[in-house]
Amino acid sequence: MLMDLAKQLTILQGEQYSNSSIAKLHWQYGKNKYNETGLSILKKRHHFIKTACTITKENMQARLETSLILHHIPRTTISDNTDIPVTAIFWRIFSLTDIADFIQNVGDKNPIHKGSNAIIPGILLLSEVLNTVMDSKEIIMRFNNAALAGQPLYWNQLNKNQAEVYSKKGKVFNLIIGKPVKNRRDING
């Protein structure tokens, strides 16, 4: 379902959405709670847009709320930071091929996800979070810095419901993990 939601989000194409970055993602999965399906614009301001993509299957719903900063290329040139918490463990490296496969699959045309310094798409990171935290029906990700293809990422579990992910360049995102899912079927489909 997450890939279907990502494809809905890519309806936002064109110059006004080019070089935009995700500030926050809010993933929810559970009983039908929203009336709308598809892509909805929740808020729109000069350089900010908040969207919701919703899919309903039978009596279950997946929803992805996305807060985008328009025409904003996230920071990627922070000097190397060796202050990765000692409790952090190696999590994942995303290759250029991983990113290219993802953007082709969902139809993402944002140029910040292309080239030798490709920024890892936030929804690709969310997909891997869902594979890591396999029983959650609600996840909130707040992005601090961009992570580039080839950068090792480190997972720091703060407590049962909070984690952070770091690269050697700094904190990439904070994570709030919500209530567990009873039946994980179809979440990442």
Q: 81: pLDDT confidence band, cut at 50, 70 and 90?
A: low
Q: Which two tokens stand for residue 132?
A: 């890591």
Buried b (16+ CB within 10 A) or exposed e, 15-33: eebeebbbbbbbbbbbeee
3-class state of residue 183 by DSSP: coil
Tokens of 80: 């190397």
pLDDT digits (tens, 9 = 90+) for 92-108: 999 999 999 999 999 99
Distance between CA 157 and CA 60 in Å, rounded? 29
Residue 132: which of 111, 98, 157 has the closest Cα? 157
Q: Is the pLDDT of residue 36 over 90?
A: no
Whether 76 contacts 117, CB under 8 Å: yes
Q: What is the side-by-side strand order in the sheet with 89-93?
A: 38-45, 48-57, 60-69, 21-31, 138-143, 170-177, 162-167, 152-159, 89-93
pTM here is: 0.88
pLDDT score for 188: 43
Average pLDDT in the 38-46 region? 91
Q: Which of 68, 179, 184, 183 is nearest to 123 (CA)?
A: 68
- The pair of structure tokens assigned to 136 is 């959650």
